[in-house]
Chain A
Amino acid sequence: MAQNPILSFQDLKTHFFTGHGVAKAVDGVSMDLGEGETLGIVGESGSGKTVTCLSVLRLVPSPGRIVGGRILFEGRDLAGLAERELQQVRGKQIGMVFQDPMTSLNPFLTIGDQVAEPLLVHDRLSRREARRRAAELLGKVGIPEPASRLSDYPHRFSGGMRQRVMIAMALIGNPKVLIADEPTTALDVTIQAQVLELFRKMKEEFGTAILLITHNLGVVAGMADRVAVMYAGRVVEMAETEELFTNPRHPYTIALLRAVPRLEYGSRQRLEPIAGTPPDLTRLPAGCSFYDRCPFRQERCQEEAPSLAAVGEQH
């Protein structure tokens, strides 16, 4: 666990109350994000990684609800805050970058107004000062001639530029925590490399702690200090990045690392897919959720759900 957790999840449960039953999207997640640390959360669609981070700022869409557990930000339980108090945290102390840069910006507002908004709302700065700061930050995230682009609307920006605008919006309040949900998934690889480089610089310069959600094991390998692997709403394994990649212990992590395509130099090797599909979240088995697909399963796995246990100092 991290030394000085700035953000701490304690047995978080977020369920969706659908017509087909209760989908346990997040079912007892506990983890800590240390100051200045980058924690990667990896998992496939439906593993609960996005819902976990939406829960932090209480942005879970209906019919989802946080039904249990606590999320502590600097020791304060965010779940207990009134909406007004949460507003102070959202966008100011915790910034968020969403996956899709094409739909996450308001097409009717200029880039300058959108980036400067947190300063006007939270810091009560003058419009002129807020715009000056917005231009400065846009320059830092690599938008050329930022001052002249403040009055442009989002449609004038390419995907990579919009993602950088989103990052500037998330960083302008100088947040202590940045939650980035698949921040580079919609981008081309050369643009992805630019954005990841930017995250590295931001981390160095501002000491921002980053919760990085991604399905891309390559991105995690290059960015995260520690990694949590999620499957069917639970963290199944958590370790320091290098330890996790060299010494994975959970059968799902092992299988995932074998299924991922790597740059091959023409050997035309075969991948080892994971048999079957992830379980239906409304009908999770009583025991381990990975039971049906696990090559090492035993009778016990069907009966009791395993809990997360330490197997080493960093694991």
Chain B
Amino acid sequence: MSADNHLLDVKNLKKYFPFHGKVAAGAERIVKAVDDVSFWVDAGETLGLVGESGCGKSTLARAILQLSRPTAGEVLFRGENLAALDGEKLRRARREIQMIFQDPYASLNPRMMVKEIISEPLRNYGQKENLNGRLEELLATVGLDSSAMFRYPHEFSGGQRQRIGIARALALNPALVVADEPASALDVSIQAQILNLLQELQARLGLSYLFISHDLSVVSLLSHRVAVMYLGEIVELGPTAELFPRPWHPYTEALLASVPEPDPRAERAKTRIVLRGDVPSPVNRPGGCSFHPRCPYAFKRCQQEKPPLKEYSPGRWVSCHLLEEPGRRPTSLQHQPNH
């Protein structure tokens, strides 16, 4: 590795699935769930990954962890390509990447005591001594009493279960935690507890997060940088502080405008950009720019030519032809710095 010492460096990652349903004549029988995605995550950083159902964000997470093997591309973790490893080597290399799942009801084995759940990763990696001490420490880290050890998941509320899942993820001192919608199944008051805990842990343990969520408010709160996915591709990536107030891709713009804000005055004053139609199926992906059938600013070039993801200002990547022809976006909707 040369100058780019990123903790995680994903390069041209693809994950295709065979498709057995009907396709249009001449179309390929594959679903391109993740198509040529590149990004990196640095140490101590949170990269938010946002997008709607079916955009490929969870598939991407699974492909990074090699839970489903990528079709092509590289997943470099500390410079080592996980996609090229298997067996024991993969297991060793992956030790420092852990995952937190969405559903705290489904992701804990109901027949295992909390003690067994949290110690499983430790035992998997051959750690047998002083387990209890480490477990008490882990429970304390996530704000649970050590008496929790001898209880079963059903005895806990959703928020407490998510804490157990976090303790399990922390057991092996990971460097990178992939959190797939970690707070989406929880009520607002409990969600806030979990989000704060994740932020505290980052500050304390220097963790990096790949934080996957459909909830833009949550992502805006936790992420240093954000990547926006649409139909298996990253359409915009940039620092949260720049991307949220001034989105450059029309999809990001529409996504942000769609978020209902808990502020009646802001809601009344808001310019509504209501997108037409549904997200198309990744099987019949539109030609040219994938977003063009729903884009309010689409013009001829968008139907014919796929825009590449390009860096238009330091750290801000966008794939959209409008950035090359800025006059086409109505000035009323051009975002000012103090939006």
- Seen from chain A, the residues whose Cβ lies within 8 Å of a Cβ on chain B are 44-45, 158-161, 188-194, 196-197, 215-222, 241-242, 245, 255-257, 259-274, 277
Contact = CB atoms under 8 A, between A and B. Distances in A.
What class of interface size applies to chain B in its complex with A?
35 or more
Contacts of A158: 278
B159 interface: yes
Given A263-B244, A277-B190, A196 B260 contact: yes
Interface centre among B52, B264, B272, B274, by most A CB within 10 Å?
B264
Contacts of A194: 274-275
Interface centre among B215, B220, B260, B265, by most A CB within 10 Å?
B260
A266 B240 contact: yes
B240 A261 contact: no
B218 interface: yes
Contact of A264 (B157, B159, B221, B224): B221
Interface string B237-249: 0011110110000
Contact of B216 (A189, A193, A219, A268): A189
Contacts of B254: 190
B217 interface: yes
Interface of B: 52-53, 157, 159, 187-193, 195-196, 199, 214-218, 220-222, 224, 239-242, 244-245, 254-268, 270, 272, 274-275, 278-279
Contacts, number: 145
B302 to A, nearest CB: 18
Contact of B274 (A193, A245, A270): A193
A260 B189 CA distance: 7
Contacts of A219: 260
A262 B257 CA distance: 13
B201 to A, nearest CB: 13
A256 B188 contact: yes
Nearest to B294: A190
Contacts of B188: 44, 215, 217, 256, 259-260
B245 A261 contact: no
B255 A189 contact: yes
B216 A271 contact: no
Contacts of A188: 52-53, 214, 279
Given A44-B187, A189-B52, 9 more contacts: A44-B188, A193-B258, A218-B262, A220-B262, A241-B264, A245-B263, A259-B191, A261-B218, A263-B216
Contacts of B224: 268
A222 B195 contact: no
B259 A271 contact: no
Given A192-B260, A197-B272, A261-B215, A266 B241 contact: yes
A277 B272 CA distance: 36
Contact of B261 (A221, A269, A272, A273): A221
A265 B189 contact: no
Contacts of A197: 272, 274
A161 B278 contact: yes
Nearest to A276: B189
A221 B267 contact: yes
18 contacts: A45-B187, A158-B278, A189-B214, A190-B255, A215-B188, A217-B262, A218-B260, A221-B264, A222-B268, A222-B270, A241-B264, A242-B264, A259-B188, A262-B220, A263-B244, A263-B256, A269-B221, A271-B192
